[in-house]
Structure 1
Amino acid sequence: MHLTTTLEELTEAELLDHADEVSRTQRECEAQVLRIAVQVAIVNNPETLDPAISRFPGRERARRFGGVGTPDVTEFAAAALGGRLGISTGSAHSLMADALDLMIRLPQLWRRVEVLEVKASYARFVARRTRDLSVDQASYVDERVAESADGRIPWSRFEDMVTGLVVASDPEAAARKERDNARRQVASPTRSTQDGMRSFFIRGPFPVIALFDARVQWFADVLASLGDTDDLDTRRVKAVAILADPLEAVALMEAFMAWRDRPDEADRPDVDWSTILPAVTVNVHTYAGAEPTGVTRVEGHGPVTEAWVRDHLGPHARFTIRPVLDLEGQAPVDAYEIPDRHREAVRLMTPADSFPWGASTTRSHQIDHTRAYRHRGPPGQSRIGNYGPMTSFHHRIKTHAGWQVRQPFPGIYVWRDPHGATYLVDHSGTRRLRTCPEMSPAEAELSQALFELAA
């Protein structure tokens, strides 16, 4: 398509031809990103490390990112690559591991990626699934999957085929994994949330799950007998809440059995949900400004509407309101140790890892001094505006890998990687700041001013 031609001017046939061109370009770019990831790994080889320095705590070491047969890579290399690609450090690490596996352990599949016959997503899936295999076993899968990886079969069938080949490559190892997985029983809430709802995942032996299913159904039927008009799925969720309190479950069971035998002589049991639902602490952050947004954030759950808080939490919760009016106004301290009130203020101001494209939102972040604390230095070094929450890995990168950071205003972080790329991190996320020669002199001056403002 000519650069001056707009999509509106194209016929349907021309639009579809253009879609072909864009799809091809996309595959070319994805293949090139994989090549770049491998080259970054090659450049950051173990020989670039000084053994005398690497042995100290926190310093960078070499790790094997990919499977057996791939070279070791210096562990901080993924941070700079992730920044340039606009992805997290962990995602960049996975990209480098997949790329190394493809080029070294899965050469037939990689050749088809290079000639644009296989999408990078298909190839990377195979790389991940074969990572724990030996070189020969990976080659076994590579030889048999390369032809079908071009999208000729639906994704679900492709997943099953790769899984079957991984098992066939080493049946004994597959059997061991099955035995190991049988011991890995799980009962935990899921991380994902959607529209105010959340799931709870249970993985256990078949008889245990069958028993649990039967108990849930029994209590769901009891609720229906007692006049609950909700649908079956809703009653089953209520049944789980009842089972979560064994004393209440037994009491309800006994009361129901007595009422069922003589319904005309006994009062029908009533479920007191206020006693069944336990007392828990839920932290809900809402905006108290002059222009409410209508959105709140529930820690450990995610963003929801204020109506959800009112309708779903309101009937079952007692709220303690702790207004946060002046996060910046926390009095600084002279000690290296960070007071709890400062930690809470920083967490409210910056709920995620402050490293570029940091993905972690845990409450257990390390709170780092943006400008390193100096013993016998000036007073007030421990203050709001000189803290940044980070994972321990990103803290090590900031300390030992040549990254620089400034905090010109509380909660606003300007990072510069060892090669000069600059990133702005705030409550809205991460943005790459353009660098010369892309930016105008005025923009370059502003970028430098931002970086040095807190110097």
Structure 2
Amino acid sequence: MTTHPHPHRSTAELLGSVRAEAALRRDSEVREARDIVAWAGLNTVQESADAATISDGYVDTGVPIAGEGAPLVSEFALMELCAVLGRSTVGGRDYVGKVLETAHRLPSIWEAVLAGRVPVWRALKIAEGTRLLPADAAAHVDRHLATFAATCTFAQVDRLVEEALARFDPTAAEQRRREAADGRRFDVHTHDAGTEGTVAVDGILDTADALDLDAAISDRARELADLGCDASRDVRRSMAAGDLARGNQPLGLDTRSLVPHEHGSTTKDPTSRKRRTVDLHVHVTDTALTTDGETIGRLGNTRSPVTTGQVRDWCGTPGTTVIVRPVIDLTGHEPVEAYEIPDRHRRHVQLRDPHCAFPHCQRRATRCDLDHATPHAAGGSTCPCNLVPLCRSHHRAKTHSTWGYTVLDPGQYLWTSPHGHQFLVDHHGTCTLDRLDHRQTHRR
């Protein structure tokens, strides 16, 4: 039987209590991290042989627990600290190392931790990725995360770390790229086939090859649906992979690849293949124009950093088509009378707001609905300034519950929850504001 220890407390009261307890826990974590940094200042060593190092399983790597520029901590003193923390020596040195990495090599993030703007656990996750970077590369990560470390995704952190390595240690970055390329594979696990008649398939591909494969499978899956297949999307994609394996291409053939027969019929040229289309959003800065060596770009399809050398390799593939799109003015306004949203408006909004505009949501805007902030039926225009990306679940919450938002500026939204909690969402992420009286009216 379920018991309710506080049967007379309202939902609003319980939410306030949970919020207060979470704040106390965050404060305690900050105090502990601050004390660890002070402890490290009293327990440093000068010789690397006496310093605590990272262990990879049972193997001592010889790498200090924090990166270049952080203090070397006494190995034996650290054992005592780990015991006091209630952690194993291995787990404790990893934790302490990330605290020191944050405090000494990520000063902007550390300042945000002390001010309560960034949770300790999030800062330590960022530090985990920067520990092996050169000092200038770690500083690059710190500068770029200074304003949105509290809300960035760890995929964004990983991409930023890769970019920093490519900028400040291109030799190591190129070595990693070559090692990754050597690790490409594609496995069909036929040995695991059972009576159910299915097998698992997995692999690691070149990014461009993977995008080509995904596009081909998606196209064929949509065609199967158009032809009347009522299976789920996942099932149709698996069927599409089989069709591609048998050479069954989508019905929309390129007539330039048809070979005429002497009796007037045609078949598809077996030597022809689908042309690769490279669709890149290229952001060029003054440093990119003046810096010697490799320039770092960003692949719009995956939002990952990429060197210009890799782009040249992809674009040099025979049969590749390169599309150059005009730059979109993100401050421009192009209202149309129709309710339907033109593609150019959709691209505009997706570039301005990369994610769902709901508090803390990181669903990519390319996978979101576009909501008319002022409903079209109420006179709202179909214009980027009145369009907001919302993922399907948060779009439903805005439509069918008392969640609501106000557009302060394009790309800046003030949300109010059903019990009056307010959140400011902009390109920096989500900022929690003071709670208002839940009876205050707000825009749906």
Provide TM-score, normalisation by structure 1.
0.35
Larger Rg: 1
Higher relative contact order (CA 8 A, sep 6+): 1
Provide TM-score, normalisation by structure 2.
0.36
